[in-house]
Amino acid sequence: MLHLRVIAPVDLSTEVVDLLSAEAGVTHLAVLPGAARQPPGDLILCDVVRESADRVLRELRRIGVDTSGGIAADDVELTISDAADRAAEDAPGSGADAVVWDEIAAKTGEQTELSGTYLVLIVVATMIAGIGVLLDQPILIVGAMVVGPEFGPLAALCVALLRRQLGVIGRSVQALVVGFLAAMVATVLSTWALTAVGLVSREMLLAERPLTDFIWRPDALSWVVGLLAGVAGMLSLTSKKSGSLVGVLISVTTVPAAANVAVAAAYGAWDEAGGSALQLVINLAAIVLAGLLTLVVQQVWWRGLARRSRRPATG
């Protein structure tokens, strides 16, 4: 359930209250006339079940509350109320599966910023994976996958493609390209430095590495794993099941593939660098494709439920 705080100008307040009153998934509606000062207007409070939240927010934006007033939403961790229970029963669909598109757009939009923290995390993750490649250590590879922050821009790219937000698409692509390039350059330099002090060598890269050689040998299963990870990742993001996101991060070889490109390039093993680069491209493309298709299916599903709702929102 979400708690909504709506500031509505006086000329829209009645329409907003009527809209919320007509929605089956809205409860605990309260109106404080003239309570808002900046911007001025009425303060309207209510709770809305997640399966109705997207429709309510869309209708509020349609009548212009977002431009002449304001809308804020917070998660409600605990609600003890028969009215809330009835609202959940009357609203179509399941709250666990509900998608609140404005919430997803806001959440993923934050992940597109090319910040210092993002760059440090992807550089550190790639360097760890580079050492894991040379040592043939899956533990280091898994650790690098968890540390890597690249799923944020990938998820933002999927949402932006669906909503045709060109600015977000550009920022997401920039974060991915700049982040991976910076990480690979740093890993090349760190590989040269570790080689110079005798901690690693070219022979370690060329030796048999049965536990990690899949990183630079992509096959059809690379597409399968990437597609499945994209579906699981997007579902974990949209349905509040964030616990499964860690498993998604561990299942795809984006950061390890970038690390293998860098290490192989540092030693001039261009065949292996090429195979790793292909693995990286396959995983990125598969995640974006599957994530976008997942969002499309969810959008069609929830729009169908809205049309079949017994009490649709009215403006």
Does one domain contain both 186 and 280? yes
Task: Give me the number of domains the chain comprises.
Answer: 2
For residues 144 and 127, give the distance between their C-alpha atoms in angstroms, rounded to a whole number.
8
Q: Is 45 helix (H, G, I), strand (E, B) or coil?
A: strand
Residue 184 contacts residue 289 (beta carbons within 8 Å)? no
| Residues 172-201 as b or e (16 or more Cβ within 10 Å = b) | beebbeebbebbbebbbebbeebbeeeebe
pLDDT at 312: 45
SS3 35: strand
User: Can you give the pLDDT at residue 245?
Assistant: 54
State residue 313's pLDDT score: 43
110 and 92 fall within a common domain: no
pTM: 0.78
What residues in the chain have per-residue pLDDT under 70?
92-97, 109-111, 240-252, 305-315
Q: Which range of residues forms the domain containing residue 156?
A: 105-302
294 and 277 in a single domain? The answer is yes
**Residues 236 and 112 both lie in one domain:** yes
